[in-house]
Structure 1
Amino acid sequence: MAEQLRIAFLVAQEGIEQVELTDPWQHVEKAGGVPRLLAPKLGSVQGFNHLTPADTFEVDVPFSEAVDTDYDALVLPGGVANADAVRLDADAVRIVQEHVAAGKPIAAICHAPWLLVEADVVRGKMLTSFPSLATDIRNAGGSWEDLEVQVCVMNGWTLVTSRTPDDLEAFNREALKAFGLG
Structure 2
Amino acid sequence: MTDTTQQTETTAPLTGKKVAFLATKGVEQVELTSPWEAVLAAGGTPSLVSLEKETVTAMKQDWEHGESFPVDLHVSEAKAEDFAGLVMPGGTLNADALRGDEDVLAFVRDFFAQHKPVAAICHAPWTLIDAGVVEGRELTSYASLKTDLKNAGATWVDKEVVVDSGLTTSRNPGDLDAFNAKLVEELAEGRHEGQSV
The interval holding the TM-score normalised by the smaller chain is over 0.9
Q: What is the RMSD of the two structures over their aligned residues, measured on CA atoms?
A: 1.2
- Tell me how far 1:5 sits from its aligned partner: 0.4
- 1:53 is the counterpart of 2:65: yes
1:69 CA drift (Å): 1.2
What is aligned with 1:35?
46
Map residues 119-158 of structure 1 onto 2, 5 A cutoff.
119-153=131-165, 158=166
Aligned pair 1:108/2:116, yes or no? no
In 2, the alpha carbon distance for the partners of 1:62 and 1:92 equals 10
Output the amino acid matched with 2:170.
Answer: S
Runs of 4+ in 1 over 6 A off after TM superposition: none
Deviation at 1:67, TM superposition (A): 1.1
Structure 1 distance, partners of 2:162, 2:69, is: 28
User: TM-score scaled by structure 1?
Assistant: 0.94
Partner of 1:86: 98
* Matched residue count: 176
Instruction: Report the TM-score when normalising by structure 2.
Output: 0.87
Per-residue deviation, residues 132-159 of structure 1 (Å, max 9, x unmatched): 0011111111010111000011xxxx10
| Residue 117 of structure 1: aligned partner | 129
Q: Which whole-Å CA distance do the structure 2 matches of 1:94 and 1:70 have between them?
A: 14
* Identity over aligned pairs, percent: 45
Greater strand share, structure number = 1
State the match for 1:164 in structure 2.
172
Number of the residue aligned with 1:23: 34
**Counterpart amino acid of 2:147?**
T
In structure 1, the partner of 2:88 is 76
1:176 lines up with 2:184 in the alignment: yes
